[in-house]
Amino acid sequence: MNNPLRGLDTAGLNRRQILSLAAMAAAAVPLSACGSGPRTRQAGPTSSASSSSEVINPDRPESALFPYDEAEKLFDSLPWPTTKVPEPTSKVTVTVAIIPGQRHEVRHAQFAKFFKKRHPNIEIKVEVTPFDDFRTKYLTGAASGVLPDVMYSQFQWGQSFIKNNLYLPLDDFIAETPDFNRADFSKAALSYWERDGKLYALGTDSAPKLLFYNKGIFEKAGAKVPDASWTWDKLMEAARGLVSGTGAQKIFGFTPVPKPTSDLTATFLLAFGGRYLTADERKCVIEEPASRDVLKRWMDLLIKDKAMPDLAETQATAKVEPFTLNRGALYVGGAWNIVTLLTLPAEQQFDWSLTHVPSGPEGRFTPVLGSAFGITSKTRNPEAAWIVLNSLRSYAGHRFFLDTPPSRLSAFEENLQALKLDKAVIDTTKESLHKYGTSDGVLRLPATPKLEDLTKPIWERVMSGSLSVDEGLKQVTERVTPMLAENV
Amino acid sequence: MAASPLVRREARRFHLFALPWTIGFVFFTGGPIIVSLVLSFTRYELLSAPEWVGLDNYVQLLRDPDFWVATRNTIYFGAASATAGVVYSLAAALLLNIKLRGQAIFRTIIYMPSVISGIATALLWIHVLHPDYGLVNYLIGLLGVQGPGWLTDASWAIPGLVIMTTWTTGNAMIIFLAGLQGVPVSLYEAAHIDGAGWWSRFRNVTVPMMSPVIFFNLVVGFIGSLQAYQLILFMTDGGPANSTLVLGLYVYRYAFKYFEMGYASTIAWALFFLVIVFTVIQFGLARRWVHYEVK
């Protein structure tokens, strides 16, 4: 008889014992089940850039978007900043941790190469880590005492990084840099990286949310496109009228569905005088009438009017924003989506434009979001790291990297003009940022990811109609309140 | 009596050859297990020193409603996935045990899903289970029935994941196949002479003779399913409405998303005890139905 287990019996164990041992060995494994794994992609202001599969030539880094000769010419023409912080007297390497993206990787490689001409003793080494893995990788690195010299941060991570001493304060370096114009950054852009009067990072982009609309869908419906006079009431009414079709052909009136996530307050509630959390993020006020009433209206638009994608429809679009698939009439999204829409493949291009987000009884508000770079507390070359960071996030750096819209106000118009956008689009983006853009109401304290996870299942039940809005908000408040103590 | 030089030399060689495994076990398995046990009694946020909190994490665990949701989902998913996996892989092994031309090709095809990358599998099944254009609902639709919203309906999300994981149980199928080839042909011949049909031969010969292998696959499959989290993280991230939140995913969230290593360790140990309890129950029940040739 050919028994595959039989050979083991000669060791003095019978099959029952062998099977028992195997089962027990397997039972001892659960604690090892915590390795890194695949994750769903998080939304983020700079996460829309696709990763480049090209191998970057370190001697001549370039791509179709950024030819080498043009990049070098641009770099040489820009007014790079100076600082009293001394240059290193011997060769040092400054590691810069970035997230991937066609623009980022090639541009950073070009920056590193051209930068060396101006600072021969500073070698820049770029570390690229996917957005979804970035925070995990560098927090665990910090726990073992290893960090790059200069490190990226998304707006939601900033306060957590600062609280955990991952970043060095920049104020002393800024004091040594007379040309550094702090006022060139908008207040909102700096706010995510300030704590106790100190500044810890310098922004890359600082983008307001805008109202995008699909001209083709409006034209087909014979409806008038939105403009600055629109209110949220008018938008809801229009969204009801613009929804059409079913299944894969369905056109949604509006996206996204309001949820208790990072900028719910600034995007959907402030215009009606409502808030999710108080400004210091110590108390949940989402149950109060101003917030409750407006969220009820949105859920009616979702459940009764079916004008927004439900959970199944969200999966049906593979979590890609329906607007970018030419399936959404109206969309409130960040200005960073301008680049996404401009770089859609030719066969996916459609006619779109944008305007101001609608106003409400309490006025017009839009969240301003973005990313930044800071010098880490584990850097071995803080002076050299500042020389790199100061260049990277200077007016010249913002122009070189074409940040959209840039945190540096002095580079704002030129960067948007470089994208060949209409003047009206540039003006709207600029006005949004300056006139009513706010960082108030955007979740930023350390409990943020946990808070979002905790409220998600509750809100999904509300979105599916199995839980009333009142009960959902009550449960959100009950779950969120104890957690806010962690934000002290 | 002192051991002979030969025995001592063999003992030294044994320890030398076992040393790499021993070092690996101490530093990469046993050590982390002990550390995680200690951490489960601390508040440890990775970037600051662990702070001893005694049984606080365990008390918090018992009061944590999401922990109980995750426990219920873990048991449901583990039991359904292990059972479906055993039934499917035994049935596949029975079919692949039939001697016919091209048998190796069929075996390769059935085994192939087990070696496909997890993410590729997840991407594939997100489409296969798609409520509107997925293959599963298309096939159900041929029978005139509207298929459910797999992965998007809280009631159907775990069954959807079970279908997907069942598809990847090729390793269990290989073990069944090996086991089937070890069943004495003489038993089938005797049953045949006695006039037993295929069902009777299956029930009275195959199942009893295969019962240790069925038991093994059931126990190992159940343990594996209880620990599952990667594909669930990718496919549903615990949703919709926490319907696929399992303990493995809950450990991951606390450890690598919230960086609360102390509480994550507590959840991991709760999962460990769950695994032990169900394994012990299975061993207890096994006395009633598992037949061993060697007692």
What pLDDT, in 10s, does the model give residues A196-210?
A: 999 999 999 999 999
Confidence of residue B294 (pLDDT cuts 50, 70, 90): low
Residue of B nearest to A6 (CA): B182
Confidence of residue B291 (pLDDT cuts 50, 70, 90): confident
Does the beta carbon of B271 lie under 8 angstroms from any beta carbon of chain A? Answer: yes
Interface size between A and B, measured as CB pairs under 8 A? 161
Confidence of residue A45 (pLDDT cuts 50, 70, 90): very low
Task: Report the distance separating Cα B259 and Cα A445, nearest Å.
Answer: 14
Entry field: residues in chain B? 295
Model pLDDT, residue A102: 53
Minimum mean pLDDT range among A20-34, A353-367, A408-422: A20-34
Interface mutation target, options B211, B227, B282, chain A, most CBs of A under 10 Å: B227
Model pLDDT, residue B36: 96
ipTM of the complex: 0.84
Task: Report the distance separating Cα A106 and Cα A138, nearest Å.
Answer: 22
Question: How many Å lie between the alpha carbon of A246 and the closest alpha carbon of chain B?
Answer: 10
What pLDDT, in 10s, does the model give residues A58-113?
A: 889 998 888 999 999 999 999 999 999 999 999 999 999 999 875 678 999 999 99
- Locus of tokens 């009067």: A197
Residues 17-46 of A with CB under 8 A from B: 19-20, 22-24, 26-34, 36-40
Residues 151-170 of B with CB under 8 A from A: 151-154
What pLDDT, in 10s, does the model give residues B234-255?
A: 889 998 999 999 999 999 999 9
pLDDT at A314 over 90: no
Contacting residues of B for A165, CB less than 8 Å apart: 47
Q: A456: which 2 tokens?
A: 């998600």
Model pLDDT, residue B1: 62
Average pLDDT in chain A = 87
Q: B224: buried, middle or exposed (CB in 10 Å: 19+, 13-18, 0-12)?
A: buried
Q: How many CB atoms lie within 10 A of CB A480?
A: 23
Q: B9: buried, middle or exposed (CB in 10 Å: 19+, 13-18, 0-12)?
A: exposed
Model pLDDT, residue A161: 93
Minimum mean pLDDT range among A52-56, A140-144, A353-357, B125-129: A52-56
CB contact under 8 A, A4 and B293: no
Confidence of residue A57 (pLDDT cuts 50, 70, 90): confident
Residues 61-80 of B with CB under 8 A from A: 66
What pLDDT, in 10s, does the model give residues B78-120?
A: 999 999 999 999 999 999 998 888 888 988 888 888 888 888 8
Question: How many Å lie between the alpha carbon of A161 and the closest alpha carbon of chain B?
Answer: 10
Confidence of residue A54 (pLDDT cuts 50, 70, 90): low
Does the beta carbon of B239 lie under 8 angstroms from any beta carbon of chain A? Answer: yes
Task: Report the distance separating Cα A41 and Cα B288, nearest Å.
Answer: 48
What pLDDT, in 10s, does the model give residues A217-253?
A: 999 999 999 999 999 999 999 999 999 998 878 999 9
Interface mutation target, options A19, A146, A313, A319, chain B, most CBs of B under 10 Å: A19
Model pLDDT, residue A103: 64
Contacting residues of B for A38, CB less than 8 Å apart: 118-119, 122, 230, 233-234
CB contact under 8 A, A457 and B238: yes
Task: Report the distance separating Cα B9 and Cα A120, nearest Å.
Answer: 61
Residue of A nearest to B241 (CA): A457
Over range B272-276, report the average pLDDT.
96
Partners of residue A354 on adjacent β-strands: A212
Q: A430: which 2 tokens?
A: 């600029």
Confidence of residue A8 (pLDDT cuts 50, 70, 90): very low
Which of A30, A139, A164 comes nearest B275 by C-beta? A30
Entry field: residues in chain A? 488
Structure-model confidence comparison of residues A380 and A8, the more confident one? A380
Confidence of residue A11 (pLDDT cuts 50, 70, 90): very low
